Amino acid sequence: MIRLYVPDDLDLACPDIRLGKEQGHYLRNVMRLRDGDPVLVFNGRHGEALTTFLSGVGPKGAGVLAISGVDHRPFSPSPDLDLVVALVKRGPLETIIEKATELGVRRIRLAITRRTNADRTNVDRLRAIAIEASEQTGRLDVPEIMPPEKLERLLDGWDASRRLMFCDETGGPPALDALRDAPKDQPWAVLIGPEGGFAPEETERLRGLDFVTPVSLGPRILRADTAAISALTLWQAAVGDWAP
């Protein structure tokens, strides 16, 4: 069944969710829905609701989704895991956003590091990618995507109760060893560097911080997108919601 993210409250007392032009077009012309067809919706706050599609009504005739049942699945958030990723080229960055969403990251922070060769990206486009991946993957929330910020500033303001798994291409203990006895009830973040890697000063600072756990992802240098997918997979298996 089609799943759609909507910003509206999921409330039987106000059952009509008005569709925007694009969503109406997508449901009617791309997915070829007919009046009365079911659609699941979620808003990142209230779980999932079952709705029925009605075309040709609502503002500009884009259609509405009429809620027929709330709590189809009650809300449960993704694990409290941030991905901190250096800005990399558009293709790999978009892959990272999509795969991190599928892998259950709750928040994505974009970092500008010494060797990052870009300081801006289209955050709205990244948000759209995260919404689409959340719809596809069945999760009940959408990861928040923060605008780019300097790594130094991000570390200055770090909440030390959140452990940071620093993926260090220059070496460190294997990630699975470092995570084996890690507490499961603590917020975490995973840090991935840019195409050019971390500058020596950045590596030195990170290694000296109490809340940092440096890890290696094996003997080969991985591209940033491969490294992000590998690190998130290992974290989910050892500490996250795949862990026994």
Of the candidate residues 61, 69, 147, 196, the single one contacting ligand SAM (CB under 6 A):
196
Nearer to ligand SAM, 11 or 177 (CB): 177
Q: Say whether residue 114 binds ligand SAM (CB under 6 A).
A: no
65: CB partners within 8 A, 6+ apart: 4, 6, 16, 17, 19, 39, 41, 51, 52, 53, 54
Q: How many residues bind ligand SAM (CB under 6 A)?
A: 18
- Residue nearest to ligand SAM as judged by C-beta position: 193
Residue 67, CA distances (Å) to 36, 37, 138, 181 in order: 11, 12, 18, 45
Nearest distance from residue 97's CB to ligand SAM, in Å?
A: 16
Nearer to ligand SAM, 24 or 172 (CB): 172
Nearest distance from residue 167's CB to ligand SAM, in Å?
A: 3
Binding mask 145-174 for ligand SAM (x = CB under 6 A): ----------------------xxx-----
Binding mask 205-244 for ligand SAM (x = CB under 6 A): -----------xxx-xxxxx--x-----------------
Cβ atoms 88, 220 nearer than 8 A: no
Binding interface with ligand SAM (CB under 6 A): 167-169, 192-193, 195-198, 216-218, 220-224, 227
